[in-house]
Amino acid sequence: MGHQNITVNTSSWIATILITVTMGLIIAWFAYNVGLNRALFAFWLNWLLMFWAYAIYRTNPARFPEKYFYIRPIEKKIYQFLGVKYYQRMIRRVNIFNPELHLRKGRSGLAKLEQTTRSTEQAHALIYIIVSGFTLYALLQQWWQAAFWYFLFNMLLNGYPVMVQRYNRDRLNRILQKLRSW
């Protein structure tokens, strides 16, 4: 049994490395052919990294520490100030995003949705960090327009989704807590 566990972990890490190297090569090829300082590259970088994050999520169970997912009381007000509710309404109209983020009936559906918000948030947070590195590079190169596009697409495709997941999970956790007390 222990040997099988090691094999599963080893194969998932090998898959993670292969997926990461492959995506790195695709991004490098795209950067070479389109240019790091182009809006088109900034846009597609986010989408390519989303495909990468989804593939990693499916092959490797590594997760952020539990402490990361703790939602501070002030966060909800900050997210409301930044317009998370408007962003949610906009995204709901485009129903291709995250089909797993739909509520199923019952307590188990709520608990599953709460877990799904964590994985979705983690993927977007990781991509946000990576694209922020590209943004910083563009700023250092004084590619002001490219830095703007990196920042804009990063906020729309990763920053706001992280905030939405945290905002929604806060509400889900309160509902789950009430259900547990019954």
| Residue of 75, 67, 169 whose CA lies nearest to 118 | 169
35 Rama class: left (phi>0) / alpha (psi -120 to 50) / beta: left
pLDDT of residue 61: 67
CA atoms within 13 A on the CB side of 116: 15
Please check the confidence at residue 5 and state whether its pLDDT lies above 50.
Answer: no
Confidence tier at 4 by pLDDT (50, 70, 90): very low
Cα torsion 149, 153, 158, 164 to 10°: value is 120
62-66, 92-96, 115-119 — which is least confidently predicted? Answer: 92-96
Please check the confidence at residue 176 and state whether its pLDDT lies above 60.
Answer: yes
Contacts 24+ apart (CB under 8 A), 137-144: 137/36, 138/36, 138/37, 141/37, 143/36, 143/37
Query: What's the predicted TM-score (pTM) here?
Result: 0.84
Mean pLDDT of 5-9: 54
**Cβ(169)–Cβ(118) below 8 Å:** yes
What share of the chain in percent tops pLDDT 90?
57
Please check the confidence at residue 124 and state whether its pLDDT lies above 80.
Answer: yes
Q: Which residue has the higher pLDDT, 60 or 35?
A: 35
